[in-house]
Structure 1
């Protein structure tokens, strides 16, 4: 089975009472060293991938996942086999052409180890700031006017990214993006000769453009890196990504919800030609990593994590449910994974790993213990 590490970096450790830890360069240097050491360990001990969510401006030192793409490049440069990706990048916070180029560059520079994930964004402090020029705000999937606008931008931005990845040159004219921008006079002779058919019209106006580079060529028939899309409650979002054949990453621990969701997801995916998708090869199940070498240690890890969760997640503006937790000893977690594999046939899992919150030795021990779970299903 494949197991990916979702790293959530912390610049404040368990029990610390410190102001603005995220602004401390020395703490960031320590976080970088610790994460690098842990991912090298993961690479050598059976883990399949590394990924991060996207957040910005987290000066409190909580989930300091600034620029997952740079993290992807760093981890790829320091490992041999780990896939690198995101779950995910906020399509509503980036120019899609720039995002498409950056991801394609990582795909090449990592030797084709990139996977991609996209979200709409749920944190107003940074999303509303970065997307203010488009009058975009975060939403709660409440079908409000703001929610509808956010969703339209996400869908259009993905359309641009997909065109950029699959077409040598193209044009796009939508609600939010015009590519090329209107009325660019482009007399550059090499474009007329080598820039592709229709790049410049008879009046010298630029009509088509493309990105450099496009993603690496693949042997599985796809034109771009695999998609891993996080999913919680919005069926509309799930159905959108089903059309694209994405894997569904879920930390929801309610079986009845997954039992209801997956048939709808697969029906939509199959309707749009992704007939090879099954529950087993599409559903990626994740959980918070609190595994221990003994029952007592595992229980202490869980209590420490529960304190963190109530402080940083079960709090405004989020109030998110905890979801699944990989809790207990190695044998207990083997049983938990076994139940899920038997029920869903799941081939891939995620460990949500809070790097920097526990001591480095404890976090390495957690990764080592879960590697024993991986080996049990090898």
Structure 2
């Protein structure tokens, strides 16, 4: 089994009320050191991977995950074994060519320790700001015109990223992007080394990225998932693995998800199983003793009600990795046995609780699931 840490960083601690904490350079330096320390510790404990969501403009100091790719490189520099990735990068309000290049470069810089993750964005402040040139903002899977436009851009951008990763050169003339746009290209090295990318009139026909990924055909792809069957079928066709944080009372939905995923894969001739469809996520609130566990859970729930299960997100809490080591071990074992999953994600705070508590949470979970430590990390 594999266990990945979804780091959710904070630049203001529990019960701390400070103005514009996210804008404070000194606090960011502290956060960097905390993430370095905790991920080095996690690497030695045997965790498989590190990842972050993508958020911007979080001047309040809540979930300050600006540019997960930079964070990936930072963590990879200070660890030896952990994969680094995203859950995920926004794939609507971005330039897909640049994103394909950046992840491919990161794959090389880390020696192939990268996994990729893509989302449609859930925060209107930054998605609307970044995506204004396309007339989009964040959306829910509600079949509205805004939702359909957001989804259409997501699908086209994924096609662009995938083709750039898998083909030396390509041409994609889509609804939102023309790659390449119509232009003349006069460059002697092109005629020597890539003559097929221009025609006899020096019109540009195809382009490619440098470099393409180190991992072939490309890094493993993940996507955060709530409930949309259209999303399930899309990733079933494309081979991305969905990560679900739904609570236990909603997990009866999971066999339906796996079935739809496998059927969609079969329709395009892709062999797969339900195990490839889903990884299960939960919020890490496991302390070193019952009193500490209770205090962590209370602090987490206070934060979640304040910043997540509230406008503009209104997200229910979902699964908790809680209780005792034995309870966590039993829950992981039950999920593996019931649904055939072999990969799990831990929503883990960095900077919200005291660091010794956050390190203790990682160690307790590792002990609960029998993780194999890596002393050479």
* Alignment of 1:356 onto 2:355: no
Q: CA deviation at 1:196?
A: 4.4
- Are 2:193 and 1:194 aligned? yes
CA deviation digits over 1:161-209, x for unaligned, max 9?
0110011011111110001122x22111000110242x11111111111
Q: Cα distance 1:304–1:164, how it changes in 2: closer, same or farther (>3 A)? A: same
Runs of 4+ deviating beyond 4 Å:
none
Corresponding residue for residue 225 of structure 2: 231
1:171 and 2:171 matched: yes
Q: What's the secondary structure of 1:117's corresponding residue?
A: strand
For normalisation by structure 2, the TM-score amounts to: 0.96
Residues 38-62 of structure 1 show CA distances to partners (whole Å, capped at 9, x for unaligned) of 0001111110000001000000101
Show CA shifts across 1:6-34 (max 9, x none).
00000110010111000000000000000
Contact 2:236-2:277 within 8 A present in 1 as well: no
3-state SS, counterpart of residue 50 of structure 1: strand
Shift of the 268–40 alpha-carbon distance from structure 1 to 2, 3 Å rule, reads: same
Choose the corresponding residue for 1:314, options 290, 309, 318: 309
Q: Is the 8 A contact 1:46 1:375 kept in 2?
A: no
Structure 1 residue matching 2:322: 3-state secondary structure = strand
The question of whether the paired residues in 2 share the 8 Å contact of 1:2 and 1:48 is answered with yes
| Cα pair 1:96 1:160 within 8 Å, conserved | yes
Structure 2 distance, partners of 1:97, 1:179, is 9
Matched, 1:291 2:289: no
Q: Is the 8 A contact 1:169 1:196 kept in 2?
A: no
Mapped partners of 2:132, 2:191: distance in 1: 36
Aligned 8 A contact 2:223 2:243 in 1? yes
Q: Does 1:240 align with 2:234?
A: yes
Give 1:326's match in structure 2, choosing from 308, 321, 325. 321
Which residue is equivalent to 1:24?
Answer: 24
- Aligned to 2:347, the other structure's residue is in SS state strand
> Residue 375 of structure 1 is aligned with which of 348, 370, 373?
370
Q: Secondary structure at the match of 1:371?
A: helix
C-alpha spacing 1:377/1:242, structure 2 compared with 1 (3 Å): farther
- What residue is the counterpart of 1:74 in the other structure? 74
**After superposition, what is the alpha-carbon deviation per residue over 1:294-319, rounded to whole angstroms, capped at 9, x for unaligned?**
22211111111000000010110111
Q: In structure 2, the residue corresponding to 1:321 is in which secondary structure?
A: coil
State the alpha-carbon separation in 1 of the partners of residues 257 and 276 from structure 2.
15
In the TM superposition, what is the alpha-carbon distance from 1:142 to its structure 2 partner? 1.3
Alignment-derived partner of residue 211 in structure 1? 209
The number of equivalent residue pairs is 371
Whether 1:46 and 2:82 are equivalent positions in the alignment is no
2:260 to 250, 253, 264: 264
1:251 to 242, 245, 255: 245
Whole-angstrom CA distance in 2 between matches of 1:150 and 1:229: 16
Tell me how far apart the structure 2 counterparts of residues 262 and 252 of structure 1 sit (CA, whole Å). Answer: 14
Q: Report the CA distance between 1:274 and its aligned residue.
A: 2.5
* In structure 2, C-alpha distance between the alignment counterparts of 1:296 and 1:215, rounded to whole Å: 47
Q: In 2, Cα distance between the equivalents of 1:187 and 1:271?
A: 43
Moved more, 263-272 or 166-175: 263-272
CA contact (8 A) 2:328 2:369 kept: no
Does the 8 A contact of 2:43 with 2:82 survive in 1?
Answer: yes
Q: Which runs of 5+ in 2 are unaligned?
A: none
Gaps of 5+ in 1: none
Matched, 1:180 2:174: no
1:6 match: secondary structure: strand
RMSD (Å) for aligned C-alpha atoms: 1.3
CA distance in 2, matches of 1:351, 1:293: 17
